[in-house]
Amino acid sequence: MSKDDQLLIGLLSISDRAAQGVYADQGIPALEEWFARALASPWRSEKRLILDERARIEESLKELVDELGCHLVLTTGGTGPAPRDVTPEATLAVADKLMPGFGEEMRRISLNFVPTAILSRQLGVIRGTALILNLPGQPKSIRETLEGVKTADGTVVVNGIFSAVPYCIDLLGGPYVETVAEVVKAFRPKSALRPPPQAAGEEASMGPS
């Protein structure tokens, strides 16, 4: 399989204290663990841990998309109302298109868990052929945002934002991304679905008898 067939994910953790070594970054490890469980198709990642500085965030987003060719970039941290929280401003500065539904849904999901979700300024944008999403900084919130709201038996009450991500990547010309439905089920219209790949033995058995 070529690299063009793999989903390339940029993971950008934005934290002054983590970047300075005051404590260990939690955002990138949480995202890597989640993708290891959630994706059924090949993927690889490019990781960056940077200070909460607008110019540095903009530079990193441009590098991940324009130079490295990431199909999807996820940021963690810097989306609150504090003076140092500038991730949304940096993201908008490099955007070609705003995808407001992602920010709306992230807040709707988080409000099921904490009332302070209304303070979040997370958003989603398109740059070139890449989707960029601002996520929370805490591992629990990251998982909830991506997977959605579920009951104790795993029934989905509110879909997570990642349900819409694979089809968005399709529309941007990226690789076909498949998910593990028990973690998060990707939604596509019927016209965009592909049949599951056949095993070598199955393909051979379909020849003339």
Of the pLDDT bands very low, low, confident and very high (cuts 50, 70, 90), residue 204 is very low
- SS3 state of residue 29: helix
CATH of the domain at 111: 3.40.980.10
Indicate whether 203 belongs to any domain: no
Pairing relationship of beta strands 7-14 and 72-76 according to DSSP bridges? parallel
Q: What is the CB neighbour count within 10 angstroms for residue 80?
A: 17
pLDDT in tens, 95-117: 999 999 999 999 999 999 999 99
Per-residue pLDDT for 205 more than 80? no
Of the pLDDT bands very low, low, confident and very high (cuts 50, 70, 90), residue 143 is very high
Indicate whether 205 belongs to any domain: no
% of the chain exceeding 90 in pLDDT: 83
> What is the overall mean pLDDT for the chain?
91
pLDDT in tens, 4-19: 689 999 999 998 888 8
Tokens of 136: 């929370």
- Domain total in the chain: 1
Of the pLDDT bands very low, low, confident and very high (cuts 50, 70, 90), residue 191 is very high
Q: Which helix (H) or strand (E) holds 49?
A: strand 43-50
User: What is the mean predicted confidence (pLDDT) over 46-61?
Assistant: 96
Tokens of 53: 């500085």
Per-residue pLDDT for 174 more than 90? yes
Tokens of 107: 């807040």
* Domain boundaries, position 165: 3-193
- SS3 state of residue 60: helix
Indicate whether 19 belongs to any domain: yes
Burial string for 41-63 (b: 16+ CB within 10 Å, else e) reads: bebebbbbbbbbbeebbbebbee
Tokens of 98: 């705003």
Q: What is the CB neighbour count within 10 angstroms for residue 128?
A: 15
Per-residue pLDDT for 133 more than 80? yes
Could you tell me the pTM of the whole model? Answer: 0.91
Indicate whether 15 belongs to any domain: yes
At residue 206, the pLDDT reads 44
